[in-house]
Amino acid sequence: MSSRIKYKMNSDLLLGLLLAAILTIVIESAVYWVRGYRDKDFYLVVLFINIATNLSLNLFGSIIAFNFLFRNGFDSILLILILEIGIYFIELIPLSKMTENKKRIRYSVLIANLTSMILGSLLLYIIQYII
């Protein structure tokens, strides 16, 4: 393998991580905006909690999925889904403390995470295909 190919692989991995995080933050913020959340502190929490959860998911998820346990595509998707469920609860803890209406925030976090997971994956695939 030439050094140019190695460099491209490394830069692709980092670009993928960065793009995934940016897409998730933009999509989730848009969903919360539509659901009526307008507080600046709320969006700061959304921003930083998504940086933490998205980087963890992509970094540790990919390490576990592709190096140690799962080599089959279906198992990897299952692992990502399980991690996403964990992320839902992790995001819910700080965001529910930022608002009064607990029932509404539960639905909002669920909708935001589902939208970012589906739309984010599709957009990421399209962007990486174009690049």
Partner 1 sequence: MFLDVAVWPILIFFGIIVIIIVAIIIASILIVVKIVRKHQKKQKALNEPVDVIEDKVQNE
Identify which of residues 55 and 127 has a Cβ nearer to partner 1 in the complex.
55
Structure tokens at 94: 């700080």
Tell me the closest approach of the beta carbon of residue 30 to partner 1, in angstroms.
20
Identify which of residues 41 and 72 has a Cβ nearer to partner 1 in the complex.
41
Which residues touch 126 (CB under 8 Å, ≥6 apart)? Answer: none
Instruction: Express the helix, strand and coil content of the chain in percent, nearest 5 each.
Output: 90, 0, 10
- Residues 2-41: x where in contact with partner 1 by CB under 8 A, - otherwise, as a string: ----x---x---x--x-----------------------x
Identify which of residues 10 and 78 has a Cβ nearer to partner 1 in the complex.
10
Q: Report how many helices (DSSP H) and strands (DSSP E) the chain contains, helices first.
A: 4, 0
What sign does the CA torsion over 59, 45, 15, 27 have? positive
Any contact of residue 64 with partner 1 (CB under 8 A)? no
Binding site for partner 1 (CB under 8 A): 6, 10, 14, 17, 41, 44-45, 48-49, 51-52, 55-56, 59, 94, 97-98
